[in-house]
Amino acid sequence: MVGTPQVVNISDLRSLAKRRLPRAVFDYIDGGAEDEVTLRENCRVFDHVTFRPHNAVSTPSCDLRTTVLGTTLELPFLLAPVGSSRLFFPQGEVVAAREAGAAGTAYILSTFSGCRLEDVKAATTGAAWYQLYLAGGREVATQAIRRAQAAGYSALVVTIDTPVAGLRERDVRNGIKELATRNLFTMLPFVGQILMRPNWLAGFLGDGGLMSFPNVVLPGKGPMPYADVGAALEQAVVSWRDLAWIRREWSGRIIVKGVLTNTDARIAIDEGADGVVVSNHGGRQLDGVSSTLRALPEVVEAVNGRIEVLFDGGIRRGSDIIKAICLGARAVLIGRAYAYGLAAAGGPGVARAIEILRTDLVRTLKLLGCPSISSLAPSFIENSRSARLFPN
């Protein structure tokens, strides 16, 4: 079902996901904030980076391995934290983590996941990182940090671009808030889209219905209910000062996700981060903020090799990954690219997304005359500082 000729690229997985999911769930994955300007820009800007191949060079095999914070990965991309994956497919986070491990790469689990962090770690043979929001407050986050440490997560990813949930207008129109109330009367105007997707509905009900958040355990109340996310984010905003106590609680690596400027990159280093992710949350938070590829050179320059720079946003092809690495990213995170696969077909869909990007990478390296990810250099693309690269 996810093989050729039906599925040739990530966009084909997106189409399958759209067919399987209720509109509210598909748009939750696919959509961005407000006018979706940044969402579109994240993808569009890759079109303006042109390659400079070394032709007449034979590269019989291509080495895709890279090392990120001391861990060797078979691929130069990791699976980004994607909240609520359990809504896309039964046991979604467990399923995605398993496929990441099978492909030799790492999975990053969102705080807002529907599966227990211990179960997700146990499902993968690869590295797992835990993405932290302070939802529920410092005590609740501390419990999650301790659990993640005990379960064997090797890095903590602190997301700093979400002091409030972005306005995703598609979600409002589709009745996400109303559907989360579990009140039949409130839900009624929006349930039609769900009844039209019986396959998805059967899986959803078989998996226990609307998930709660088992890694956000509120004292005396248990797992945080789905409907409480927005309020929880606003009540527990991460600030730079939090990095100090997070570092005391967590003995592994810390990565700050959501850096877009040289100023924030420098502060992250001063606060002891081991890495940063140049990210605008896939255009889901501040609309009108720079596309991430455009922000990458500024951050790479400010970091100046002191810590590792990762990148995400808009990756839909292996050639996008190569462009980001040429511009200084150590590796990239993919978000929607695998989420579409998960939503389209569960584990085989995630595996297909990974395979599409893997074969893209090998083909593109060969066409560039470059034997490995570690040999990529700025010289393989047009000068990143030229105005021609990023026209307005």
3-state secondary structure the chain: CCCCCCCCCHHHHHHHHHHHCCHHHHHHHHCCCCCCHHHHHHHHHHHHCCECCCCCCCCCCCECCEEECCEEECCCEEECCCCCHHHHCCCHHHHHHHHHHHCCCCEEECCCCCCCHHHHHHHCCCCEEEEECCCCCHHHHHHHHHHHHHHCCCEEEEECCCCCCCCCHHHHHHCHHHHCCCCHHHHHHHCHHHHCCHHHHHHHHHCCCCCCEEEEEECCCEEECHHHHHHHHHHCCCCCCHHHHHHHHCCCEEEEEEECCHHHHHHHHHCCCCEEEECCHHHCCCCCCCCHHHHHHHHHHHHCCCCEEEEECCCCCHHHHHHHHHCCCCEEEECHHHHHHHHHHCHHHHHHHHHHHHHHHHHHHHHHCCCEHHHCCHHHECCCCCCCCCCC
Answer for which of 17, 79, 80, 269 binds ligand FMN (CB under 6 A) is 80
Assess 344 for contact with ligand FMN (CB under 6 A): no
Answer for which of 98, 121, 336, 358 binds ligand FMN (CB under 6 A) is 336
Q: Which amino acid is at 333?
A: L
Shortest reach from residue 259's CB to ligand FMN, in Å = 12
Assess 312 for contact with ligand FMN (CB under 6 A): yes
281 belongs to the catalytic site? yes
Which one of the spans 211-219, 294-302, 332-340, 367-375 is the region binding ligand FMN (CB under 6 A)? 332-340
Assess 214 for contact with ligand FMN (CB under 6 A): no
| Minimal CB distance residue for ligand FMN | 335
Assess 256 for contact with ligand FMN (CB under 6 A): no
Answer for which of 66, 91, 110, 384 binds ligand FMN (CB under 6 A) is 110
Which one of the spans 75-83, 221-229, 298-306, 346-354 is the region binding ligand FMN (CB under 6 A)? 75-83
Assess 313 for contact with ligand FMN (CB under 6 A): yes
Q: Rounded to the nearest 5°, which phi and psi values hold at 8?
A: -105, -30
Pair 313, 279: CB distance under 8 Å: yes
Q: Round to whole Å and give the CA distance between 359 and 374.
A: 17
Shortest reach from residue 57's CB to ligand FMN, in Å = 31
Assess 13 for contact with ligand FMN (CB under 6 A): no
Assess 282 for contact with ligand FMN (CB under 6 A): yes
Assess 317 for contact with ligand FMN (CB under 6 A): no
Pair 78, 386: CB distance under 8 Å: no
Shortest reach from residue 171's CB to ligand FMN, in Å = 10
Answer for which of 66, 91, 105, 131 binds ligand FMN (CB under 6 A) is 131
Answer for which of 238, 243, 327, 334 binds ligand FMN (CB under 6 A) is 334
Shortest reach from residue 387's CB to ligand FMN, in Å = 25
Shortest reach from residue 39's CB to ligand FMN, in Å = 8
Which one of the spans 188-196, 319-327, 334-342, 380-388 is the region binding ligand FMN (CB under 6 A)? 334-342
Catalytic residue among 281, 294, 336, 352: 281
Place of tokens 């990213």: 329
Assess 114 for contact with ligand FMN (CB under 6 A): no
Shortest reach from residue 326's CB to ligand FMN, in Å = 18
Shortest reach from residue 292's CB to ligand FMN, in Å = 8
Assess 257 for contact with ligand FMN (CB under 6 A): yes
Contact residues: ligand FMN, CB under 6 A: 28-29, 42, 80-83, 110, 112, 131, 159, 257, 279, 281-282, 284, 312-315, 333-337, 339
**Catalytic amino acids?**
281
